[in-house]
A and B are shown apart, each in its own frame.
Chain A
Amino acid sequence: MAKNIGRRVLQTLLVLFCVSLAIFILLRIVPGDAITTMMGEHADAETIARLTAEMDLDKPFYVQFWTYLKDICTGNFGTSYTLHKPVTELLAAAFPNTVKLALIAAAIAWMIGILCGVVAAVTKDGILDRLFMGFSLFGVSIPVFMVAMVLQYLIAYRLGWVSISGVEKWTGFILPAVALGWNSAGSIARLTRSTLVEVLQEDYIDTAKAKGLGRPAVIFLHALRNAMLPVITMMALQISSLLSGAVITETIFSINGIGRLAVDAITSRDIPLLQGTVLFTTVIVILGNLVADCLYTVLDPRIRKGA
C-alpha cells in the first residue's frame, strides 16, 4: 500500500511540474508579444520596457522558467497589475469564500444525491426510481448559470427570502451553494443508484437477508458501505468541478472568491493574477485527486490487501 501511495505521490509531482510549465507557456509565450496582449496596442515604450524587465522577458526561456518556478514554490505569485496588491494576499482573502461555497454546495449536493440514489436503487424500476433518475439527468444537463438565475429571480427577488447577492450574512451562501451543487447532486445520485443496484445483487446481501436482518439494516449496514467506495472517489473528484463551477456562481452572486478573481484577471488582462488563480486552483484540484486516490486505497480492503 505504501509503495502504491508513494508512486502516486511521484506521479502527482510530475503532473504538478508539467501543469506549471503549461500555464507558464500559455501565459508568457502568447503569439505576438505578451506585453502588448496584456496592455493593449496603446502601451507606451517606457511601460513596455519596464514590464519586460519586470517579467524577465528579455532573458532566455529557461532563466524565465527557473525564476518563475522558484517564485511559485516560495508562494510568490507577483503583484497584480490592476489591484496593485501581491497576488498571494488577494488569493488568501478570496480563498475562504470559495472554500465555504464549495463545501456548503458539496454538503447539499451529496446529501440530496445519495438520498435520491438510495431511494432509486431500492425502488429499482419503480415510479420513484424513474422520477429521481429523470430528475437527476435534468440536474446534470441544466447549466449552472440557469439554476443560479432562476433561484435569484424566484427566491431572492420575488419572494425576498434571502439577499440577491453578497455573502455578508451566512444566508447569502444558500442560493449560490444550491446553484453550484445542483449538477453534482445529479451525478452523485446516478452513480449511487448504479453501484447500489449492483451491490444489492451480491451473495453476501442474500446471506444478510437470510440471517433475518431487516431491509434497512441490509441496505445501510451492508450494501451501502460497499456501494459508497466509487461514490467517495467521485465526491473527491467533484471538488474540482465545484471549484471551477464556482467561477460562474461567484460572478452571478458577486462573491469575492477565487473564480471571480480569475474572471476579473482575464477581463482586465492581468497576467500575474490570472497565473496565480489558475495555478492555485489547479494545484488544489490535483492535491484533492491525490487525497481521493489514497483514501480509496485505505478504505477498500480489496485494494489495501491485494496490491
Chain B
Amino acid sequence: MRRKKEQPGQEVDRKEALAAQLGESDTLKDKMGRMAADNKLAVFSAVVIAVFILAAVFAPYLTPFDFDEMDLMARLAPPSSKHLLGTDELGRDVLTRLLYGARVSLVVGIVPTIISMLVGAVLGMVSGYIGGITDSVIMRLADVVLSFPSLLLAMVIMYTMGDGIVSIFIALAVTNWASVARVVRSETLSLRETEYVEAARSMGVKDVAIIFRHILPNCIPSLIVLFTLNVPSAILSESSLSFLGIGVQLPNSSWGLMVNMGRTFLYNAPWLSLVPSAAIMLVVLAFNFLGDGLRDVLDPHLKNS
C-alpha cells in the first residue's frame, strides 16, 4: 500500500474529523467563512464576478449610449475620454456593446450549466443508486458524449437545431452533463453504503425519497464546485461557437460575436477584438479562481479529477 503523507486536503479532512469528535459540525456556511478568511484571491474573484453581473443587469444606466447607436463620424475611433474603449466599424461605443454583450455571455454561461447540472446530477444519482443495467446504459451514454471533442459536438448540434440562443443552451447542456453525472455517480456509490441510507431503506423509505432527501444534500458541495468550474467552460464554448459564426447571431451580441466581428479590423483597430477577449478572460479567470478556492474547502478530493 502506498502511504500518503499530509496533504492540504487531508488536513481539512482531519479538522473535520476533529470537529465531529468534539460534536461540532462544519456547516456549508462555516466552510465558506473559512475560505473567505484564508483565500483572498477567491473572495476578490467573487467580487469581480458580482461586478460583471451587476454591470450586465444595469447596462442601460451605466452608459450614455444606446446599444445600437451609430456615430458614423467616429468610426473605428481609438479609446478616448468620450468612448472609453473606442468605437467599432459603425461608430458604436465598444464599452456599451461590451456591457450588453455581457448579458448574453453570462446567461449562456449560467443557464446551460444549470441544465447540465440538473440532468447530470439526477442521472448520476440514479445510475449510482440503482446500479445494474440502468447504471451501464447511463454510463455508456456518458462515455459516448465524452468521447466527442466537445466543440465539434456542439457544432453538430447547432447545425441540427439551427441558430438561436435556445440551440446554444441545448448544445452546451448536451456536451456538459456527462462529466457531472460521472462525479455524482461516484459520490452516490459511497453514500449508498452509509448507515443513514441503510437505516432509511430498512424503514421502508422509497428510493426516490432516499435519492432526493439523503443523497442529493450530500452531493451539494461537489455540485457547487462543479458549477463554478463549469460556468467558465460554458462561457468559453459559447464564445468559440460565436467566434466561428455558428453561435449567437446578429442583431444579438455576445462577447464571442464581438471578437468575431472585430477580427476583420485586427490590424487597424485591435481593441475591437481584444477588449471583448479580455472580458471573457477576466470572467473565466475569476470563476476558475473562485472554483479552486471553493474546491479546497468544500471538496478536497475533487482536486486531481
Q: Does B3 interact with chain A (Cβ within 8 Å)? A: yes
Q: Find the B residue at minimum CB distance from A144.
A: B240
Name the A residues within 8 Å of B159 (CB-CB): 26-27, 30, 266, 269, 274
Identity of the chain B residue whose Cβ is nearest the Cβ of A197 in the assembled complex: B7
B147 sits at the interface (CB 8 A): yes
Contact of A201 among B4, B160, B259, B263 (CB under 8 A): B4
In the complex, per-residue mask of A267-302: 1 if CB is within 8 Å of any chain B CB, else 0: 101000010011001100110010000000000000
Please state if A27 and B246 are interface contacts (CB–CB under 8 Å): no
Residues in B whose Cβ lies below 8 Å from that of A37: 162
Query: In this assembly, does B79 line the interface, its C-beta being within 8 Å of a C-beta of chain A?
Result: no
Q: Which residues of B contact A26 (CB under 8 A)?
A: 156-157, 159-160
Considering only CB atoms, which chain B residue lies closest to A258 in the complex? Answer: B152
Q: Does A138 belong to the interface (CB within 8 Å)?
A: yes
Is A137's CB within 8 Å of the partner chain B? Answer: yes
Q: Which of B151, B285, B292 has most A Cβ within 10 Å?
A: B151
Neighbouring A residues of B278 by C-beta, 8 Å:
146
Q: Which of A17-25, A84-92, A115-123, A211-219 contacts B (4 or more CB under 8 A)?
A: A17-25
The complex places the Cα of A144 from the Cα of B240 at a distance, in Å, of 8
| Nearest CB on B from A238, distance (A) | 11
Partner among A149, A152, A282 whose Cβ is within 8 Å of the Cβ of B152: A282
0 or 1 for each of B265-295: is its CB under 8 Å from A? (1 = yes): 0110010011001101100110011001000
Which stretch from A41-49, A58-66, A106-114, A243-251 is at the chain B interface? A243-251
> Is the Cβ of B144 less than 8 Å from the Cβ of A18?
yes
B236 near A: Cβ within 8 Å?
yes
Given A152-B266, A247-B244, A267-B245, residue A262 in contact with residue B155 (CB < 8 A): yes
What is the distance, in angstroms, from B30's C-beta to the closest C-beta of chain A? 25
Q: Is A131 an interface residue (CB 8 A)?
A: no
Quick one: which of B151, B156, B158, B232 contacts A141, CB cutoff 8 A?
Answer: B232
Instruction: Tell me how many residue pairs across A and B have CB atoms closer than 8 Å.
Output: 142
CB distance from A193 to the nearest CB of B (A): 11
Q: Of A18, A202, A230, A266, which one neighbours B155 at CB under 8 angstroms?
A: A266
- Residues 47-102 of B contacting A (Cβ, < 8 Å): none
Does A71 sit at the interface, judged by CB under 8 A?
A: no
- B303 and A274: CB pair below 8 A? no
Q: How far is the CA of A31 from the CA of B164 in the complex (A)?
A: 15
C-alpha gap A220/B292 in the complex (Å): 29
* Binary per-residue interface labels of chain A (145-185) against chain B in the complex, 1 for a CB within 8 Å, 0 otherwise: 11001101100010000000000000000000000000000
On whether the beta carbons of A241 and B149 are closer than 8 Å, the reply is yes
Least CB separation from B246: chain A residue: A266
The answer to whether the Cβ of A263 comes within 8 Å of any Cβ in the partner chain is: yes
- Closest residue on chain B to residue A200 by CB atoms: B5
**Interface digits, B2-21 against A, CB 8 Å rule (1 contact, 0 not)?**
11111100000000000000
Partner of B160 from A31, A157, A240, A247 at Cβ < 8 Å: A31
B148 (CB) vs chain A CBs: closest residue: A282
- Given contacts A26-B157, A27-B159, A267-B246, are A244 and B281 in contact (CB under 8 A)? no
In angstroms, Cα B305 to Cα A191, docked, is 10
Chain A CB within 8 A of B202 CB: no
Q: Which of B5, B152, B157, B304 contacts A244 (CB 8 A)?
A: B152
State whether A282 and B288 are in contact (beta carbons under 8 Å apart), knowing that A27-B156, A150-B274, A248-B244 are contacts in the complex: no
Interface centre among B141, B152, B157, B243 (most CB of A within 10 A): B152
Q: Shortest distance in angstroms between A38's beta carbon and chain B's nearest beta carbon?
A: 9
Contact A146 B148 (CB under 8 A): no
Chain B contacts for A289, CB-based, 8 A: 147
Q: Give the shortest distance, in Å, between B7 (CB) and chain A (any CB).
A: 7
Taking CB atoms, residues of chain A closer than 8 Å to B7 are: 198, 201
Would A278 and B277 count as touching, CB distance under 8 A? no
Task: Tell me which residues from 183 to 212 in chain B have a Cβ below 8 Å from any Cβ of chain A.
Answer: none
Residue of B nearest to A157 (CB): B267
A14 within 8 A of B: yes
For the complex formed, measure the closest distance between the CB of A230 and the CB atoms of chain B, giving whole angstroms. Answer: 7
In the complex, given contacts A143-B277, A244-B149, A248-B240, what are 12 additional A-B residue pairs having Cβ atoms less than 8 angstroms apart?
A: A15-B143, A22-B144, A31-B161, A137-B292, A143-B240, A145-B259, A146-B278, A157-B267, A240-B149, A247-B240, A281-B149, A281-B152
Nearest 7 CB-CB pairs, A to B? A244-B149, A146-B277, A201-B5, A141-B285, A141-B284, A18-B144, A244-B151
19 A-B pairs within 8 Å (CB atoms) are namely A15-B143, A18-B144, A26-B157, A30-B160, A137-B285, A141-B232, A143-B280, A146-B280, A153-B267, A153-B270, A201-B7, A245-B151, A247-B151, A251-B244, A263-B155, A267-B246, A278-B152, A278-B156, A281-B149
